Amino acid sequence: MKNRKAETSLGGKTVGVILVALVILSVLVFLFTVDIQKWLNFLPSFGTQEDTEYVDKCPVKIAEIKDGMILFCNQETKICDITSKLQIDGEKIQVHNTNIIIPDTDIGQITVNIIIIFDEVIKKEGKLYSSVVNDLPDYSDLINLYGAYLHSKTEICRNEPVKEEITYTPKEKIGALKYESGKDKIYYYAIAENYNVETKQWGKASIEEDSNLFIKDYFIYVYRPWFKSFKVGVRDPQTNMIGIYSQYLSDESWGVNPSDYLNELNNAEIVRGEIYKKNEVAK
């Protein structure tokens, strides 16, 4: 009886050893026949989308990602050491705030592997832009980031760099927008006598003056502090062109300073928060 129990125990141990050996053999076969790096890519990672498919080639490297922060590349030296306050947090592009009490600000997102920067940041308009303007990188870096793609978990690339197109000359700038009190206030450019402390001479300089106009919900209003503001024109949401109603295109001021500024604004274009008009010279 004892011999039978001993034989049964020995047989069970033998089967166990065989099973363990088979498991070890299977693991060894897997290690030597499978590309481990590709297998690891299927595992979830923190800070990026699990289904992100990275592009094989990187014709132009725009930036690198280090510890979640975006470092832009110098296209001449090819060195990516231009620091910024932009960071990637999962699918979000954010302006990082060093004050832990104030949360980081979202200015864009990653869709699949394409980087999108929110429209008002690119156009330099609105409340969001005003809240982060001092923490944004150079505009040339920002527009190259917009539409770029993740080449890997550490590289941001484009097929070719984007150059900012200038369609107007500085002399054709007739105004600018500044987001204040929930609306875009319009400032006009005026030429004023300016005293240069270094040269100790007087000269002419371009300064911004409040036009008493503002844009809200795509309408142009004249602001009146003691009365109700009234509409004098519209801003086309598609073309960003300004149109002033014909009854206000006269020599009357309508509460606008200077008095002919409504005529200047008619058919002007808003470009990234600045107002331009062809064949017009700034005041």
**Residue 227 has which token pair?**
């009365």
**What average pLDDT does the segment 46-59 reach?**
61
Please determine, for residue 135, whether its predicted confidence score (pLDDT) is greater than 70. yes
The structure's pTM equals 0.57
What mean pLDDT do residues 42-48 have?
Answer: 38
Over range 41-60, report the average pLDDT.
56
pLDDT value of position 255 = 87
The 10 Å CB-count burial string (b at 16+, else e) for 111-150 is eebebbbbebbbebbbebbbebeeebbeeebbbbbbebbb
pLDDT of residue 189: 84
Q: What is the domain partition of the chain in residue ranges? A: 60-158, 170-276
User: Tens digits of per-residue pLDDT, 166-195?
Assistant: 778 888 889 988 888 778 999 998 766 555
pLDDT in tens, 206-221: 678 899 999 988 899 9
